C-alpha cells in the first residue's frame, strides 16, 4: 500500500527527532569525540535510518552548537576549547544562582520535599559511582533540577538546560577522572549537604554562593589537570 506524502513526512520527522536525541547523547557522553568527523555511513549504521533524517538531525544540532559544518563537505562534532569551557561554566554558575535565588523566594513545603527526595536517590547510588558514573550523574543532575525548578520560570529552565548540555562534554572529562577518587567524591557530597541546609533555611546569599563554587569546581580542576589536554588539540 502506498503511503501518502503526509505519512512519509511524518515518518521522516519522527525518525529525525529520534536521531537528534540519540546523536546528542552520543556527543555529550563522548561516544563521538570533539572535532571528530561525522561520516554518514557510520551514522546510518548506528542509528538505522536514511540520509534525510540524519541531515535534519545534524542541522538541528548545528543550531544547538553541538556540531559544525566542515568546509561545506560534511559535519563534525563541535570542537572544545579552554576559553569556551570557562565561558560556559561561568555563565552556568550565574544562571543557576539566579534560579536558586528565585526558588528560595517562591519555595514551599512541596519544593523542600522534592529536594530531599532527589537528594536521597542520589545518596543511595553513591557507593556505585565508580561502576556507573553516568547513572550517578543523571541522579546528580536530577537533584540540581529539583532545586532550580522552584524558580518557576520555563525560560530560565530552558537556558539552564542548554548550558548544562554544553557543559556536559567538559564535565565528563572531570567526572571520569575524579569521581572515582573517594576524597573528591566525599568533598562533592559535603557541598551538597551544605547547599541543602542553606536552601531549607532559606539562606539565599549563602545558597547562591555555594552553588557558584560547586558548579565552578570541575572547570577549575580541569584547568590544573591533565584532563584538559584534550582541549589543546
Kindly report whether the global pTM for this prediction surpasses the value 0.75: yes
Judged by DSSP in three states, 75 sits in strand
Q: What is the pLDDT of residue 175?
A: 66
Cα–Cα distance, 145 to 155 (Å, whole number)? 14
**The 37-38 sheet, strands edge to edge:** 37-38, 75-77, 67-69
**CATH code of domain 82-232:** 1.20.120.530
Query: Which residues touch 64 (CB under 8 Å, ≥6 apart)?
Result: 24, 162, 165
Matching residue, cell 550523574:
137
**Tens digit of pLDDT per residue, the chain (233 long)?**
444 443 444 455 567 788 999 999 899 888 898 899 999 999 999 999 999 999 999 999 999 889 999 877 789 999 888 899 999 999 999 999 999 999 999 999 999 999 999 999 999 887 777 778 788 888 999 999 999 999 999 999 999 999 998 888 888 766 666 555 667 778 888 999 999 999 999 999 999 999 999 999 878 877 765 455 545 44
Q: Would you state the pLDDT for residue 217?
A: 85
Question: Do the Cβ atoms of 179 and 130 come closer than 8 Å?
Answer: yes
* 68 DSSP assignment: E
Phi, psi (rounded to 5 degrees) for 151: -65, -20
The CATH classification of domain 5-77, taken from the options 3.90.1150.10, 1.10.3720.10, 1.10.10.10, 3.40.50.300: 1.10.10.10
Residue 228: what pLDDT? Answer: 52
Nearest alpha carbon to residue 176 among 225, 142, 216: 225
Per-residue model confidence (pLDDT) at position 136: 84
Residue with cell 552548537: 65
* Start-to-end C-alpha separation, the chain: 53
- For the chain, what are the domain ranges? 5-77, 82-232
**Distance (Å) of CA 199 to CA 92, 116, 146, 190, 220:** 19, 11, 12, 14, 25
Amino acid at each position: 500500500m502506498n503511503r501518502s506524502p503526509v505519512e512519509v513526512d511524518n515518518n521522516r520527522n519522527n525518525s529525525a527527532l529520534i536521531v537528534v536525541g540519540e546523536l546528542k547523547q552520543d556527543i555529550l557522553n563522548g561516544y563521538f569525540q570533539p572535532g571528530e568527523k561525522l561520516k554518514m555511513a557510520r551514522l546510518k549504521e548506528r542509528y538505522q535510518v536514511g540520509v534525510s533524517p540524519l541531515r535534519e538531525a545534524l542541522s538541528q544540532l548545528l543550531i544547538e552548537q553541538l556540531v559544525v559544518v566542515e568546509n561545506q563537505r560534511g559535519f563534525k562534532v563541535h570542537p572544545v576549547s579552554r576559553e569556551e569551557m570557562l565561558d560556559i561554566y561561568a555563565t552556568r554558575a550565574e544562571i543557576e544562582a539566579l534560579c536558586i535565588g528565585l526558588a528560595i523566594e517562591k519555595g514551599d513545603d512541596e519544593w523542600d520535599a522534592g529536594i530531599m527526595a532527589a537528594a536521597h536517590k542520589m545518596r543511595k547510588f553513591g557507593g556505585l559511582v565508580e561502576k556507573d558514573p553516568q547513572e550517578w550523574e543523571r541522579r546528580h543532575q536530577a537533584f540540581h533540577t529539583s532545586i532550580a525548578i522552584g524558580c518557576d520560570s520555563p525560560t530560565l529552565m530552558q537556558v539552564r538546560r542548554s548550558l548544562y548540555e554544553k557543559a556536559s562534554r567538559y564535565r565528563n572529562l572531570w567526572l571520569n577522572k575524579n569521581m572515582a577518587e573517594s576524597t573528591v567524591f566525599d568533598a562533592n557530597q559535603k557541598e551538597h549537604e551544605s547547599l541543602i541546609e542553606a536552601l531549607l533555611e532559606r539562606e539565599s546569599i549563602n545558597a547562591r554562593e555555594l552553588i557558584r563554587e560547586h558548579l565552578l569546581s570541575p572547570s577549575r580542576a580541569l584547568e590544573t589537570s591533565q584532563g584538559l589536554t584534550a582541549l589543546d588539540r
